[in-house]
Amino acid sequence: MPYPNPFGRDREGTERNITGYKVSTILSFLLNLVFTIMYTSHAPSNPHGHSHWNHTIYGLRDHDYTAFSPSYIFISIYWVTLFILQIGYIWHLFSDNAVYVKQAAAVGSHFILFNLLQFAWVHLWTRSHWWFSELMLIFNWINLVSLYLRHPNTPRWVHLPAVALPLVWVEFALFWNGSVMVHCSSLACRILANIGIWNFSVFSGFFLVVYRDYHVGFATSFLMAGLGVGQFATKTFALQWIFAFTIMSVVFLGSLLVAVPDVFKSEDQRVEVAGDRERAPLLQEA
């Protein structure tokens, strides 16, 4: 029996290959988890004496600290939270509840691809292959945006670990990796970074307005807080940390404005809104 196209709409194929999804999900998750932990504390070896510099994931503090270098404490908290939530997602994939299994498997291919591309990014990043690591992030961004557009209304236990938090991370990492790639430490580059940072307000604002997704908003505001702390710790007299905290505050308040009314909605209202969003792409295709 042929394996279904991961990016196709063959939902029956997904259900037929649920065992394959379970195995692939666990393996890809463990691959990403183990090497992320390992390269957080230990730099990869360089037995062949290549000229590129090997370092830990956070080993750039004293070398390529750019306008998008964050506080590593915030990044660590973000990833610990994400890994814990992903364990919960995987648990649902093995649930006895057929509905949970179907909901988890629906995004399984994208989740597996995210882990594999993130694993590739870690390997390339820690070996200073900036251009190739940026390429992995671009591929992952396309993967996650495709996932979001196809499944904008997954349950929260799927949406957070498989969609929202990974997408926000990749969006942030694109700028962090990119700034290291071009060695963005000059005045001209920092001015461009002062402009580019406002992308995060547009990015989160889009999901808040179009999809009312406050999960993306809160995740973005958290990483902006991490960026602000990281920039303030290295360049007190600069605009980047001021802009980061400003974006954090605005996005956080916007997320609250969306989240609070949603909390008090009845279950019927939430189902109705979700149904409208699911039908919208079908109406456009028609």
Tokens encoding 279: 């039908």
pLDDT in tens, 205-216: 999 999 999 999
CA distances from 123 to 26, 117, 132, 133, 237 (A): 19, 10, 10, 8, 34
Spatial separation of the C-alpha atoms in residues 279 and 286, rounded to whole Å: 11
Q: Which of 39-48, 176-185, 262-271 has the lowest mean pLDDT?
A: 262-271
Grouping H, G, I as helix, E, B as strand and the rest as coil, residue 211 is coil
Q: Percentage helix, strand, coil, to 5, in the chain? A: 75, 0, 25
Tokens of 115: 């882990």
Dihedral (CA of 270, 276, 282, 284) sign: negative
Distance from C-alpha of 248 to C-alpha of 242, rounded to nearest angstrom:
10
Cβ-contact 176, 134 below 8 angstroms:
no
Q: Tens of pLDDT along 139-172? A: 999 999 999 999 988 999 999 999 999 999 999 9
The mean pLDDT of the chain is 86
pLDDT band at 286 (very low <50, low <70, confident <90, very high): very low
Separation of alpha carbons 242 and 281, rounded Å: 39
Total-model pTM: 0.86
pLDDT score, position 129: 93
Who's near 95: CB < 8 A, 6+ residues apart?
101, 104
Structural contact between residues 158 and 105, judged by C-beta atoms closer than 8 angstroms: no
For residues 259 and 46, the model is more confident at: 259
d(CA 136, CA 153): 26
Tokens of 119: 């694993």
List C-alpha distances in Å: 127 to 48, 50, 53. 13, 10, 6
**Domain positions in the chain:** 11-263
Residues 6+ apart with CB under 8 A from 242: 228
pLDDT of residue 253: 97
Q: d(Cα 78, Cα 223) in Å, to the nearest integer?
A: 8
- Give the pLDDT mean for 8-19: 60
User: Is the Cβ–Cβ distance between 42 and 51 less than 8 Å?
Assistant: no
Q: Per-residue pLDDT tens for 90-134?
A: 999 998 888 888 889 899 999 999 999 999 999 999 999 999 999
Mean pLDDT for the stretch of residues 188-217: 95
Confidence band of 285 (pLDDT split at 50, 70, 90): very low
Q: Are 244 and 228 in contact (CB under 8 A)?
A: yes
> What tokens were used for 220?
């973005």
Amino acid at 205: G
C-alpha closest to that of 165 among 80, 102, 93, 105 = 80
Amino acid 135: pLDDT: 98
